[in-house]
């Protein structure tokens, strides 16, 4: 069973359906953390470097943005609807010594301006990725990279993809590059 099948099975069984640690907030997707080996592979696939600004939409505990800053010297922004997740992300940034290079905001990802991103990280359901596609194409500069974990982005063909094995589950990551307009 790959990770996608696992997640779909878990959601079908009702596990993690609320997905939010703050009562009264309805999320479009459950919170499922990205395994650190997958985070590392995503950042390598996107060729994150010191001059990059990495945005993570639906950042959860902030591990992608924190890792981008700690391992590659990038700056980053994490966006999530759950204030408790943002608290966790800020704590992780402080613990990693990168709080000055990253910021986390409680915000709807569909209302977020991510035009300064040179790398956009996604771990969202396919329907959400597809809804984001016009915004990605309109806001991001040509040549910017989008790295998606587990799910593609509408009808956009990835430039590259990789499979990462973690705990006997195959995890797919996809790299997209914003085309010239």
Domain ranges of the chain: 3-8+33-177
* Whole-number pLDDT of residue 134: 96
Statement: residue 9 has pLDDT above 60 = no
- Residue 18 has a pLDDT of 39
The pLDDT score that the predictor gives to residue 48 is: 98
Count Cβ atoms below 10 Å from residue 45 Cβ, excluding itself: 19
Which CATH architecture best describes the domain 3-8+33-177? 3-Layer(aba) Sandwich (3.40)
The answer to whether the beta carbons of residues 75 and 52 sit under 8 Å apart is: yes
Q: Rounded to two decimals, what is the model's pTM?
A: 0.86
61-119 pLDDT tens trace: 999 999 999 999 999 999 999 999 999 999 999 999 999 999 999 999 999 999 999 99
pLDDT tens profile 18-56: 354 555 555 566 788 899 999 999 999 999 999 999 999
Residue 33, pLDDT score: 87
Sign of the Cα pseudo-torsion (116, 89, 19, 123, in order): positive
> How many Å apart are CA 176 and CA 161, to the nearest integer?
9
User: Tens digit of pLDDT for each residue in 153-179?
Assistant: 999 999 999 999 998 889 999 999 999
């Amino acid at each position: 069973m790959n990770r996608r099948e696992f997640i779909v099975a878990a959601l079908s069984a009702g596990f993690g359906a609320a997905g939010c640690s703050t009562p009264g907030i309805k999320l479009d997707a459950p919170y499922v953390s990205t395994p650190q080996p997958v985070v590392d592979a995503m950042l390598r696939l996107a060729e994150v470097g010191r001059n990059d600004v990495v945005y993570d939409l639906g950042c959860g505990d902030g591990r992608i943005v924190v890792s981008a800053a700690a391992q590659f010297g990038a700056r980053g922004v994490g966006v999530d609807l759950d204030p408790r997740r943002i608290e966790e992300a800020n704590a992780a940034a402080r613990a990693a010594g990168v709080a000055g290079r990253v910021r986390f905001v409680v915000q709807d990802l569909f209302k977020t301006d991510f035009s300064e991103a040179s790398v956009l990280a996604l771990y969202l359901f396919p329907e959400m990725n597809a809804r984001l596609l016009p915004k990605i194409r309109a806001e991001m500069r040509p040549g910017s990279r989008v790295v998606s974990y587990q799910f593609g982005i509408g009808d956009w063909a990835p430039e590259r993809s990789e499979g990462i094995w973690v705990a006997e589950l195959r995890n797919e990551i996809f790299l997209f590059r914003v085309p010239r307009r």
